[in-house]
Amino acid sequence: MSKMESERLFVKTLTKTLKRTLCEEINENDKGLEFNLKGWVMHYRDHGSLIFIDLRDYSGTIQIVFDETISPQSFKTAKKIRNEFVVSVLGVVRIRPSGTENPHLKTGKIEIEARSVELLNDCETLPFQIEEEKEAGVNELMRLKYRYLDLRRKKLKENIIFRSNFTFSIRNFLQKKGFFDIETPFLTKSTPEGSRDFLVPSRLNIGSFYALPQSPQLFKQILMVSGFERYYQIVRCFRDEDLRADRQPEFTQLDMEMSFVNKDDILSLTEELLSGVFGELLNIKLNLPFPRLNYDDAMDTYGSDKPDTRFEMTLKKLSHIFVNSSFNLFKDTITGGGEVKGICLKTGSNLLSRKDIDELVSFAKEFGAKGLAWTKVGENKTFDGGISKFISIGERSNLINELNAENGDMIFYQADLKRIANAVLGKLRVHLAKKFNLIPKSKFNFLWVVNFPLFEYSEEEKKIVSVHHPFTSPKLSDIDILISDPLKARSESYDFVLNGEEIGGGSIRIHKKELQEQIFKILKITPENARLKFGFLLDALSFGAPPHGGIAFGIDRILMLLRNENSIRDVIAFPKTQKAYCPLTDTPSKIESMQLREVGISLLKK
């Protein structure tokens, strides 16, 4: 079923229930029949003794004609109509006179000859125009303040309807697969690891606080202990961190958890789910299974744990070429345990001016690079510019082979710790691809990244922290090195990536109390602290917890990608600004001092 068909099906069902005719339900076959249409006036065109309006309801638009000679009364009323008035029109369907059809309208072959009209409501002068042709460029603050008007606009309205169809399709699939939709608390416990919590003071327990959940992680694990075996929820999550185009303080996850499954069970079920939804909503057939990349390979090849594989320009290891080089910067980096890596921008010599290159150097430095070396490739394996003079003839030849470089290309180099070289070139790769439109827009490249490290060392906290979260199971094969070499241990976790965006992730969880306690120990969470923060989980794990695992998807981000938007705000009905402010409701805002007193809070004087 195509997207259009599924929307029409939805419309028909509702109409039958409410006994209401919608604009785009009417077609040529209804010629001569009388209908009552209700909706908003999209445009009005007054021709003296003939008035046209385009009536819009949520199904679409249709043209209504008011003719003085047919219905003087309704014509007189129609004279008062303005944009976005709400009207009810009783009229007869007729075929448009030949030559006046509008091929751009779905209802363009017909029109409604008005017999009577009622003005249900008028409308103030709009703060911005509704027509889709004028959608571009309206200040976002204005759009958010008058969100109800913004939502009348075609693009946003279609995004929100698509979102509804999308989540409906997911629910439909999962219910059929034996999953239960189970709600978990919003007023819950603050989690010490992870992002900053939104806090809610408790009136009945002065001095104590709830936190809004960053995710239902612990509850879904507990539901597995309860024996539900298959859980899902399309649920709001809350994180009090700084915002981005793809981050809102409250966002929606598809949250899932299963018992008695292994990693592959979860990955393949997810693939089936997504290919089903894509087929149903977008008529796109996805090739299964999705590619699976090792974390290490993703970092080495793309410099990212969420690689965009829609274009090449992969990172190449060049250390072997420079290990005995007379170029000390490169040689010393290698001797010191670092690596030299490079990427090749096809035809880059012509694309980039000196000023562009300087900008790229600053760009690289933002991500921790010490600099950004470059050379242009000329005819007959000649090099030009940048660090060319330090590179020997033999090295040039090797570089050209390694990077598949040709006359006119440009090579960028990073010599640093492997981690930094990868990260910088990875960012540069994506930056260049966007800058020079190397990314095919119509592609959907899904992939899994697997075999993540279990831990990483946090320079800021000066201790080992979880890469995923502390309930992630190590790979069974790595249990032995947990204590001896924890940073080498890998986890049973997986990230789901679409077109270079992380849109989901999950893991097999720890279901043995002893192993969980051991992990806390490595993370320097004391037994007392663990009991205080996660005691309920440890208790649950001790009462016959089944092996289990799950995954969560960022619904907003997926929708953003599917709808080709640049921000998740455009797939959320009521989003917030970058300062987490809602201009529509003026939130957050001051509250009465009485309310503060009731919850035992006094504000610090500034």
Partner RNA sequence: GGGGCUGUAGUUCAGACGGUUAGAACGCCGGCCUGUCACGCCGGAGGUCGCGGGUUCGAUCCCCGUCGGCCCCGCCA
Total number of residues that touch RNA (CB under 7 A): 73
Find the part of the chain contacting RNA (CB under 7 A) among 256-264, 330-338, 384-392, 571-579. Answer: 571-579
Comparing C-alpha atoms, which of 36, 63, 69, 31 is closest to residue 50?
A: 69
Place of tokens 């492997």: 418
Whether residue 449 contacts residue 293, with contact meaning beta carbons closer than 8 Å, is answered with yes
Determine the Cα angle at 576 with ends 571 and 580, to 5°.
145
CA 209 to chain centroid, in Å, comes to 30
Residue 155 in the binding site for RNA (CB under 7 A): no
Phi, psi at 9, each rounded to 5°: -60, -45
Q: Are strands 548-554 and 34-46 parallel, antiparallel or unpaired?
A: unpaired
Q: CA 452 to CA 184: how far, in whole Å?
A: 28
Residue 126 in the binding site for RNA (CB under 7 A): yes
Q: Please, which residue, 145 or 513, has the CB nearer to RNA?
A: 145
Residue 581 in the binding site for RNA (CB under 7 A): yes
User: Cα Rg for the chain, rounded, in angstroms?
Assistant: 30
Residues 453-472 that bind RNA (CB under 7 A): 460, 465-470
Residue 65 in the binding site for RNA (CB under 7 A): yes
**Looking at 59, 215, 375, 414, which residue binds RNA (CB under 7 A)?**
215
CB 160 → RNA: shortest distance, Å?
Answer: 18
**Looking at 16, 17, 133, 528, which residue binds RNA (CB under 7 A)?**
133
Residue 567 in the binding site for RNA (CB under 7 A): yes
Sign of CA dihedral 398, 399, 400, 404: positive
Residues 223-242 that bind RNA (CB under 7 A): 239, 241-242
Q: CA 151 to CA 575: how far, in whole Å?
A: 12
User: Which helix (DSSP H) or strand (DSSP E) does residue 106 occupy?
Assistant: none
Residue 245 in the binding site for RNA (CB under 7 A): yes
Torsion of CA 400, 402, 404, 406, to 10 degrees: -10
**Looking at 59, 159, 214, 270, which residue binds RNA (CB under 7 A)?**
214
Q: How many helices (H) and strands (E) does the chain have?
A: 19, 22
Residue 99 in the binding site for RNA (CB under 7 A): yes
CB 580 → RNA: shortest distance, Å?
Answer: 8
Neighbours of 16 (CB within 10 A): 9
Find the part of the chain contacting RNA (CB under 7 A) among 62-70, 266-274, 281-289, 397-405. Answer: 62-70
Residue 290 per-residue DSSP state: P
**Looking at 24, 30, 101, 402, which residue binds RNA (CB under 7 A)?**
101
**Looking at 2, 27, 36, 49, which residue binds RNA (CB under 7 A)?**
49
CB 430 → RNA: shortest distance, Å?
Answer: 10
Q: Please, which residue, 137 or 337, has the CB nearer to RNA?
A: 137
Residues 369-428 that bind RNA (CB under 7 A): none
Find the part of the chain contacting RNA (CB under 7 A) among 134-142, 387-395, 402-410, 540-548. Answer: 134-142
